Amino acid sequence: MSEKTAANGVSERTTKHGTFVLEHTYDATPARVFAAWADPAAKPRWFGGPDDWENEHTLDFRVGGTEWNRTTPPDGPAWTYTAAIHDIVPDRRIVYSYVMECGDAVASVTLATVEFEPAASGTRLVLTEQIAFLDGLDSPDLREGGTRSLLDSLDEMLQGKR
């Protein structure tokens, strides 16, 4: 048992795998939707925890770059997202992997692909995540719901509501 996990009190070791695909159509060009993922000033406007949580964010958007986000609820442990960017095709695709930590314990490890496709009404975004959930700290339902909420927040930002 690693010190990092032992300090968080996890005693049972479990692994659960999950995969989900989310699709969302935005009333904006692929270039504009892609920029919302790539621009270090734009992404924190939609990516993070609820408004009453403390949110910190950094983004070095390039192949080999990293992204880091920490969201801390008023009454719970911080959730920390640390990503490595593996592939970028401007206005078409982003491939990255990330680790989610709850407090000091690794909760999951994910491979994610975001695809941007022209659509009649703007952009069809397809996000695929393949995840290893560790030690019961996160679950497929929670992750899919949280990711869906982030995509909705992106839509609000693109409409000028965030």
CATH number at residue 139: 3.30.530.20
User: Is 24 within the bounds of a domain?
Assistant: yes
User: Is 10 within the bounds of a domain?
Assistant: no
- Distance in angstroms (rounded) separating the CA atoms of residues 79 and 60: 20
Which residues constitute the domain of residue 68?
Answer: 16-111+122-158
User: Is 142 within the bounds of a domain?
Assistant: yes
User: Is 9 within the bounds of a domain?
Assistant: no
Q: What is the pLDDT of residue 58?
A: 97
Q: Is 21 exposed, middle or buried (0-12, 13-18, 19+ CB in 10 A)?
A: exposed
User: Is 117 within the bounds of a domain?
Assistant: no
pTM: 0.89
- Distance in angstroms (rounded) separating the CA atoms of residues 130 and 111: 5
User: Is 50 within the bounds of a domain?
Assistant: yes
The number of folded domains in the chain is 1
User: Is 102 within the bounds of a domain?
Assistant: yes
Sign of CA dihedral 116, 110, 98, 137: positive
Comparing 12-16, 28-32, 91-95, the range with the smallest average pLDDT is: 12-16
Looking at residue 67, its amino acid is E
What backbone torsions phi and psi does residue 35 show, to the nearest 5 degrees? -60, -30
User: Is 83 within the bounds of a domain?
Assistant: yes
| pLDDT single digits (tens) 57-102 | 999 999 999 999 999 999 989 999 999 999 999 999 999 999 999 9
